[in-house]
Amino acid sequence: MEELKSQILAFLEGVSKEKPRVIAEKIGAKKRDVDKACSELAKEGKIEYLYIGTSFVTLAGKDHTPGVIREE
Q: What is the pLDDT of residue 52?
A: 85
Residue 60, amino acid: A
More confident residue, 37 or 67: 37
Q: What is the pLDDT of residue 64?
A: 66
Whether pLDDT at 69 is above 70: no
**How far, in Å, CA of 8 to CA of 27, rounded?**
8
pLDDT in tens, 11-61: 999 888 999 999 999 999 999 999 999 999 999 999 999 998 888 999 998
CATH topology assigned to domain 1-59 = Arc Repressor Mutant, subunit A (1.10.10)
The set of residues, in sequence order, having a beta carbon less than 8 Å from that of 30 and lying 6+ positions away, is: 24
Q: Where are the domains of the chain?
A: 1-59
